[in-house]
Chains A and B, each alone.
Chain A
Amino acid sequence: QSALTQPASVSASPGQSITFSCTGTSSDIGDHDFVSWYQQHPEKAPKLLIYDVTKWPAGLSSRFSGSKSGNTASLTISGLQPEDEADYYCASYTHSATMVFGGGTRLTVL
């Protein structure tokens, strides 16, 4: 159950688009489409942004989109807003019927 690999930090300006990567293995991301993304603001619980690679929970902004290629999943945020500054975590079901989170990427909106 090794953590998925995410870059530690990224930064971008308001209005830009940014893409986060999440790299796993053929035992997790590469094995199925149960990949999720979460946003976490300081002192708050994580919030589900994307599930099953590309799907949005009801009521969530379409500025967030997901994709996957092989063992790597990606989250794209378009039209960055100041409130998007947060930590972002990917997560994946694994072949052993457990799940694993990524180490997280901190987004700074300049």
Chain B
Amino acid sequence: VQLVESGGGLVQPGGSLRLSCEGSGFTFTDSYMNWIRQGPGKGPEWISYISSGGHTTFYADSVKGRFTISRDNAKKSLYLLMTSLAVGDTGVYYCARDQYGGYKFDSWGQGTPVVVSA
């Protein structure tokens, strides 16, 4: 199982960024997927979930209305569109597989860093 995130970088407050996560070594279409972030010196924070077919999504209150999770099963890829970014959104963003449901993250990517700064 391999998950590889990309798309992180430096962005100004109020800006937007789109993260990608490509999966391999497993049946991507059967897996629930999530985005989890970790701010500097902080613990992980779950931010979003998407069902295997992409029809059901959930968000943490901290990002609801600003972030959008999506997936393209044909490309075995997961996405996170982040808008209205704030300094507090700074951190490492991980995609994580939840193979069986119930938010059990059995596989994680290496993470992609996002820095929101003027």
A45 near B108 with CB under 8 A, answer yes
- Interface residue ranges of B17-40 to A (CB < 8 Å): none
Chain B residue nearest to A45 (CB atoms) is B108
Which listed segment binds A: B7-15, B43-51, B72-80?
A: B43-51
**8 cross-chain CB contacts under 8 A:** A1-B60, A36-B104, A38-B105, A46-B108, A52-B102, A99-B103, A101-B44, A103-B43
Q: When each residue 86-118 of chain B gets 1 if its CB lies under 8 Å from chain A and 0 otherwise, what string results?
A: 000000001000000011111011110000000
In the bound complex, CA of A3 to CA of B106 (Å):
21
A89 near B44 with CB under 8 A, answer yes
- Interface residue ranges of A1-52 to B (CB < 8 Å): 1, 3, 34, 36, 38, 40, 45-48, 51-52
Chain B residue nearest to A92 (CB atoms) is B103
B104 near A1 with CB under 8 A, answer no
In the bound complex, CA of A89 to CA of B46 (Å):
12
A98 near B43 with CB under 8 A, answer no
A-B CB pair tally, cutoff 8 Å: 57
Other 12 A-B pairs with CB < 8 A, given A1-B62, A45-B94, A98-B58 = A3-B43, A34-B102, A34-B104, A45-B109, A46-B44, A51-B104, A91-B44, A93-B103, A98-B49, A99-B46, A100-B46, A101-B45
Given contacts A1-B60, A97-B58, contact A36 B105 (CB under 8 A): yes
B43 near A87 with CB under 8 A, answer yes
Seen from chain B, the residues whose Cβ lies within 8 Å of a Cβ on chain A are: 43-46, 49, 58-62, 94, 102-106, 108-111
A102 at interface, CB cutoff 8 A: yes
Given contacts A46-B44, A103-B43, contact A57 B58 (CB under 8 A): no
A66 at interface, CB cutoff 8 A: no
In the bound complex, CA of A46 to CA of B49 (Å):
17
Q: How far is the CB of A88 from chain B (nearest CB, A)?
A: 10
Q: How far is the CB of A98 from chain B (nearest CB, A)?
A: 5
Q: How far is the CB of B75 from chain A (nearest CB, A)?
A: 22
